[in-house]
Chain A
């Protein structure tokens, strides 16, 4: 059974960079899209972006100017970097596997990230 696990700081200062990793175990990263999704009580679930196993990526236009998603298949990891964060980026961040059929069939447990000085 595939498992995904987020890791990274739980507290980030305003204007700094939020960096998270997702480690994938129990399966290959090939032929799937690897996504980041965040959740807040006020905006609900928000798709951040994905990277395909080939390295192609797509980002939510609302975050594109601040966002980088990268992939390291040798480590079975993919990563999120979000620059110039504000309090509005405070959320639970999930990594998830998106099947070619467009559904998120495997999720990490989620990690709370708070932006505060």
Chain B
């Protein structure tokens, strides 16, 4: 299985901050990586697909980049509704695997 390692596991930030999360794959996954946001008691929501493509309806302050084994997810200017947990997910190889999540908390 491809292991997905997110960093950091948790992060404290303030409204207006720029936030960056990294995701490292245990092997080359080209650009077959997605990012999700999950709020408590809710299902994950797709934000970024294929490493850098913004899902329809997702605000442009969210962005993704990377290829191969190293990927980055950023929020340009944190909004109150962005405090949540974020996950990366690879689909280069089955089984599909997810990162362990990054919990973004208010400072």
Known contacts A44-B100, A44-B101, A45-B87: A104-B95 contact under CB 8 Å: no
Alpha-carbon distance A109/B96, docked complex (angstroms): 20
Residue of B nearest to A45 (CB): B98
A101 & B50 in contact (Cβ 8 Å cutoff): yes
- The residues of A that contact B87 with a CB separation of less than 8 Å are 44-45
Q: Which of A47, A101, A102 contacts B98 (CB 8 A)?
A: A47
B43 & A105 in contact (Cβ 8 Å cutoff): no
| Residues of chain A whose beta carbon lies under 8 Å from any beta carbon of chain B | 44-47, 58, 60-62, 94, 96, 99, 101-105, 107-110
Q: In the complex, how many angstroms separate the beta carbon of B18 from the nearest chain A beta carbon?
A: 25
B43 & A108 in contact (Cβ 8 Å cutoff): yes
Q: Name B's interface SS.
A: loop
Residue of B nearest to A4 (CB): B43
Known contacts A47-B96, A47-B97, A47-B98: A102-B44 contact under CB 8 Å: no
A to B CB contacts below 8 Å, 28 in the list: A44-B87, A44-B98, A44-B99, A44-B100, A44-B101, A45-B44, A45-B87, A45-B89, A45-B101, A47-B95, A47-B97, A62-B95, A101-B49, A101-B50, A102-B49, A102-B91, A103-B34, A103-B50, A103-B91, A104-B34, A104-B36, A104-B44, A104-B46, A105-B46, A105-B55, A107-B43, A107-B45, A110-B43
Interface centre among A44, A46, A101 (most CB of B within 10 A): A44
Count of chain A to chain B residue pairs whose CB atoms are closer than 8 Å in the complex? 53
- The residues of B that contact A47 with a CB separation of less than 8 Å are 95-98
Interface centre among A96, A103, A107 (most CB of B within 10 A): A103
- The residues of A that contact B101 with a CB separation of less than 8 Å are 44-45
